Structure 1
């Protein structure tokens, strides 16, 4: 049943005709509706003529489960290739421009050698290693 407010008299008339058709199809006494409205009401009450297989729900559930269990190996390999390419390009850039860049950075930050001592680099390496994905065997 429609619960939105009726905006115009034409919409109210249309809504009343639809309701009368539904009542007439239910067998309510004293209700008359145009044949076209009764035909639509009758069609809406009947189930859709779809012949689904008996195990349709099982098939859909199996397909969804299979799709969820697929291991996106190509995506992981693509990310690894991209990260490797980034590391190679960063290394090449550091080799080509590293001396001037590091000298400029040390001039801008006089305390940089104390910050980048061995322990700080070890901490950063440990944090980076903790973010690497762990390969778990499939069950």
Structure 2
């Protein structure tokens, strides 16, 4: 065990505070006198910058309806973006519709032949079963929707 006891370093806080106070006062005095900045003393130079900032006139106060003005600007820019997006979307839909019409006009006959050929080889009684197949698919879809609604109602009541 080390029994040597070293005394704590002397408390020089008062001395450091006094030096800071003197640097602040010197910066204020030099700035008021308009003396050039001394590059050798960085602490005084920093305080002089602070003195200049504090002497500068304060900002103009914000208008009373500042928040309302900002909200109006945000809404205006948002509506402008929404309108631009809607115009671009409408233009894209028109271009896609024109391309679809061109493709159908150009290649429609080949498509119809490709669809009609397998239908011609199917049994003759198949046409009577297609509505039944449609009703089964529709009934299954409707059953799934109705059972999902019942489950949603039960979950809502449980919560």
* TM-based fold match above 0.5: no
For normalisation by structure 2, the TM-score amounts to 0.36
Larger RCO of the pair (alpha carbons < 8 Å, separation 6+): 2
Larger relative helix fraction? 2
For normalisation by structure 1, the TM-score amounts to 0.40
